[in-house]
Structure 1
């Protein structure tokens, strides 16, 4: 289910709810800007691959599971916006442990974008934390065809 209002703001139940007062995406002209998208499950809010201590702290996580989930969530927001995976032109990746997770994340990226000539531009940043106990978040921009979406 997608709702697009007059200001070109997109929210969808097919992706996890934002953790603050912002939309999943906003269209400006022929560009679509996605807010930071994480790997949480849209229906349950669970984080794939996380294992917790009894007190709620993360014991361990699976970056492969989280990377696959974040790609699925990005795809859900794109589709709710009338865009396609192939419309992505720029992706900023935030990893909470660059040394541990970059190689595994990069392998998942290569599965989703096997041809570097058609892949979106990408910047990957190592950061200390994200607002929920996730290890990865993507910030994306898509270019929409004229008269589309």
Structure 2
């Protein structure tokens, strides 16, 4: 019987411990799943997480940075991402988020990942959450 692949939790130094029993990212074999990330600024020891700002742009760009930090810590890049899910709190933000998304990924060399966008409730002040699935190697 083949050995079971090890599952490794990924938590970059820029992130605080999750608020519940889950990992910011999990790598198993050549798969890396990034848990839903929001636009919190990098962690400061002893301080509560702080949103990057009140605007969708500020939070989206910080959310991308947070997802990227986990991808890199797990040995992946945006080029390895095959699926992203975007969670918005306001349907009115869809067009603006798409514009930010297109601008951010304009230089991606590989085919863009698949993507789903849904509307959800998030804690007060948070406008966007993003998760990603990457296949390495």
Confirm or deny that 1:49 pairs with 2:59. no
**d(CA) in 2 for partners of 1:36 and 1:136?**
9
Q: TM-score, normalised by structure 1?
A: 0.77
What does 1:1-149 correspond to in 2, within 5 Å? Answer: 7-44=7-44, 45-50=49-54, 62-99=55-92, 101-114=93-106, 118-127=111-120, 129-131=121-123, 133-145=125-137
- Asked if the contact 1:39/1:136 (under 8 Å) is kept, the reply is yes
SS of residue in 2 equivalent to 1:86: helix
- Asked if the contact 2:81/2:132 (under 8 Å) is kept, the reply is yes
**d(CA) in 1 for partners of 2:18 and 2:131?**
13
The alpha-carbon deviation at position 16 of structure 1 amounts to 4.6
Q: Alignment length, in residue pairs?
A: 127
SS of residue in 2 equivalent to 1:114: coil
Comparing 29-38 with 130-139, greater Cα deviation is found at 130-139
Comparing 77-86 with 16-25, greater Cα deviation is found at 16-25
Q: TM-score, normalised by structure 2?
A: 0.83
Runs of 4+ in 1 over 4 A off after TM superposition: none
